[in-house]
Amino acid sequence: MAVDEVHECLFAYGTLQLESVQMSTFGRRLIGTRDALTGFALVPLTIDDPAVVAISGKVQHTMARFTGRESDVIPGTVLAVSRDELPSADRYEVAAVKRVAVVLQSGVRAWVYVDARQEPAQVEIRPAREADSASLSDAVKAVAAEKWYLATIDGFSLEQTRAYLQRIRDESLPQVTALVGHEVVGFCDIVPESAQGFAHVARLGMGVRSAWRRQGIGRRMLDACLSLARNSGIEKVELEVFADNLAAVRLYESFGFSLEGVKVRGRKLEGRYQDVKLMALWL
């Protein structure tokens, strides 16, 4: 397949990596690169479809099941396919799995087949509490460690996080977290400027752990936090977002944030330049 025909990335961790399966499914050998899927673990899957068994030569397969744990990593291969070839992959897979979009360890966005029978995790959106301090600190550090989404690459210490939450409580500032059980998987706040004459303006900050993205958590947090901001006297919400973080830019635009300017090559990290978009929303 020519390069200009490649429209999709498909992450394979099982039999789709086999040349015989690729030839039978797509009629050609696929080009692939090694990568990994974080936040999922492999579980056994017994195949009862004779056609799939005949192609793969195996009755026992594996499938990816979402855990949300950063320590769970599935190695595999990113395969280059066209949009027209995705239905062929769908036909090869069985009803126990479904194709979903994920972000891989490398940052590549890809399709992957995961357990379709798993009940979705219950994600609670609420303001952070003192007891959430350690998990919130860990969550910020995890997103910061990816380097390309937050202004900080180090995160904040437990002491800094506790002081931050104390200010949130003392000043009744808009802030929410996304939790699964007792684990913080996302965070969002809107903190007003402190300088005289600028208190009507607040700055938005948010992030979601990599394994929990593309599940609507960011949208739910932003909606909740903006509702709190509208009742707090804040008139304008500003933010800075790296221009190559397209998912975040689209999310902010969908809430009505407009572009006010661009810091061209505003950050240079590890030899990579990033433009910084300045966006704002009047409440």
- What is the pLDDT averaged over residues 47-76? 79
Is the pLDDT reported for residue 4 higher than 50? no
Q: What is the pLDDT of residue 171?
A: 94
Residue range 203-262, pLDDT digits in tens: 999 999 988 887 889 999 999 999 999 989 899 999 999 999 999 999 999 999 999 999
**Dihedral sign from CA coordinates of 26, 31, 34, 37:** negative
Residue range 169-211, pLDDT digits in tens: 999 999 999 999 899 999 999 999 888 899 899 999 999 998 8
Q: What percent of the chain has pLDDT over 90?
A: 65
User: What's the pTM?
Assistant: 0.69
Among 149, 166, 111, which residue's Cα sits nearest to residue 245?
A: 149
Is the pLDDT reported for residue 3 higher than 60? no
Q: What is the pLDDT of residue 6?
A: 54
Give 9: exposed, middle or buried? Use CB within 10 Å, 0-12, 13-18, 19+. Answer: buried
- The pairing of beta strand 73-81 with beta strand 8-12: antiparallel
